[in-house]
Amino acid sequence: MTRAIVIVGLGIAVAAAGCGKSQPSSTSGAQAGDRTVVVYSSADKEFAEQIFRAYEAKTRVNVLPLYDTEETKTAGLTARLVGEKDHPKADVFWSSDTSRAVALVDQNVAESYIPEGASGIASRFRSPTGLWTGFAARIRVFLYNTGRIKPTEAPRSILELTQARWRGRFAFANPHFGTMSFHAAALFTKWGDARATTFFESLKANDAVVAAGNSDVKDRVADGRVDIGLLDEDDAVVALREKKAVALLIPDQDGPDALGTPLMPNAALLIRGAPHPGAARRFIDFLTSEEAERILAASDAAQYPLHPGGKGPELLPALAGLRVMDVDYAAVARKLPTMDATMKTIFGL
Partner 1 sequence: MIRIARPWASRVAAVPMGALLALLAAPLFVLIKHVSADRLATDWVSFGRTLGFALTGATVATITGGAIGVLLGTREVPGRRALFVLAVVPVAAPPAFWWLGATRVTSLLGNVTGPWAAAAIAGFALAPIALLLVTAALRQLPTHLYDAARVALPPMTRARVVLLPLLGSALAGGFVLTVILLLGESELPFLFGFRTVMTDIVTTFAQSFDIRQTLPLVIPLLVAILVLGVLTARPLLRTVLKSSRGGRGVTRTPGSAVLSLCAAAPAAGLLLSIGGYAWAILKALPSASPRGLADATTVMVSIIEPVGCAWSAVTLTLAAAYPARRSSAMPAFLWLGLLLFCVPAAIYAIGWLGVGQILGGLPIPPIVAYTSRAVPLSMLGFAVGYSRLPTSSEDAAALVGVSPVQRALLFVLPLIGWSLVAVSALIAALTFADRDVASLLLPPGASRLTLNLYLASANAPSSTVGILALTVLVGAVTSVTLAAAGPALLWRRRD
Site for partner 1 in 176-195 (CB under 8 A): 176-177, 181
Q: How far is the CB of 10 from partner 1 (least distance, A)?
A: 6
Binders of partner 1 among residues 83 to 112 (CB under 8 A) are 83-90, 99-100, 103-104, 107
DSSP E strand boundaries for the chain: 36-41, 62-67, 92-95, 110-111, 133-145, 170-173, 209-211, 228-232, 246-249, 263-271
| 6 CB neighbour count, 10 Å cutoff | 10
Q: How far is the CB of 272 from partner 1 (least distance, A)?
A: 14
Contact call for residue 122 and partner 1 (CB under 8 A)? no
C-alpha span between 38 and 218 (Å, rounded): 33
Count of positions on this chain that bind partner 1 (CB under 8 A): 81
Binders of partner 1 among residues 31 to 50 (CB under 8 A) are 38-40, 44-47
Which of residues 114 and 210 has its CB atom nearest to partner 1 in the complex? 210
| 58 CB neighbour count, 10 Å cutoff | 10
Q: Do residues 91 and 271 touch, judged by C-beta distance below 8 A? A: yes
- Sign of the alpha-carbon torsion through 72, 133, 193, 157: negative
Q: How far is the CB of 309 from partner 1 (least distance, A)?
A: 27
Phi, psi of 10 (to 5 degrees): -65, -40
Contact call for residue 79 and partner 1 (CB under 8 A)? yes
DSSP state of 119: G
- Torsion angle defined by CA atoms of residues 273, 276, 280 and 282, in that order, rounded to the nearest 10 degrees: 140
Out of 33, 51, 55, 67, the residue judged to bind partner 1 by CB under 8 A: 67
Site stretch for partner 1 (CB under 8 A), options 123-131, 169-177, 287-295, 317-325: 169-177
Contact call for residue 227 and partner 1 (CB under 8 A)? no
Contact call for residue 77 and partner 1 (CB under 8 A)? yes
Q: What number of residues does the chain have?
A: 349
Contact call for residue 320 and partner 1 (CB under 8 A)? no
Binders of partner 1 among residues 197 to 226 (CB under 8 A) are 210, 212-213, 215-216, 219-220, 223, 225
Out of 51, 55, 68, 262, the residue judged to bind partner 1 by CB under 8 A: 68
Instruction: Identify the H or E element spanning 54.
Output: helix 45-59
Q: How far is the CB of 109 from partner 1 (least distance, A)?
A: 8
Out of 149, 186, 287, 336, the residue judged to bind partner 1 by CB under 8 A: 336
Angle between helices 277-287 and 45-59 (to 10 degrees): 110
Contact call for residue 300 and partner 1 (CB under 8 A)? yes
Binders of partner 1 among residues 233 to 252 (CB under 8 A) are 234-235, 238, 242
